[in-house]
Amino acid sequence: MRPLLACKLLLMSSTISFFTVCLAPQGDTADAWPEQTLLTSLEMGGLQWPSSCRSGTCRTCIGQMPEGSVRYEMDWPGLTAEEKAENWVLPCVAYPLEDVVLQDPFS
């Protein structure tokens, strides 16, 4: 099975008003609410993700987002324009706009 397939199948079946954050390749998921950061959603869902500052400056939580989109409440979330273009995110300050797939930093 392709690494993102498990995540895609889970995301396609979601019909509830919140979003889903899915860790690839294993397919672990958590509810992702639009008003809370991805990091908070991951932690509330019992999933581990590296973190430290929770303000977007230390970059401990940086991760690759193969699918989905997020918004930031700050103009400069600690990412370069190139990193944003390559779908890197800072889950500690990123809010989901739709279902999101993150590459598991521990796999």
Taking the chain (107 residues) in consecutive chunks of 10 residues, what is each chunk's mean pLDDT? 59 71 97 97 97 94 97 88 95 97 93
What is the signed CA dihedral for 45, 69, 4, 64, rounded to 10 degrees? Answer: -80
> What SS3 state is found at 3?
coil
- pLDDT at residue number 93: 96
Let me know if 107 is exposed, middle or buried by CB neighbors in 10 A (0-12, 13-18, 19+).
exposed
- pLDDT at residue number 51: 96
- pLDDT at residue number 9: 58
- pLDDT at residue number 75: 80
- pLDDT at residue number 88: 97
Complete domains list, the chain, with CATH: 5-103 (3.10.20.30)
Question: 56 near 77, Cβ under 8 Å?
Answer: yes
- pLDDT at residue number 17: 86
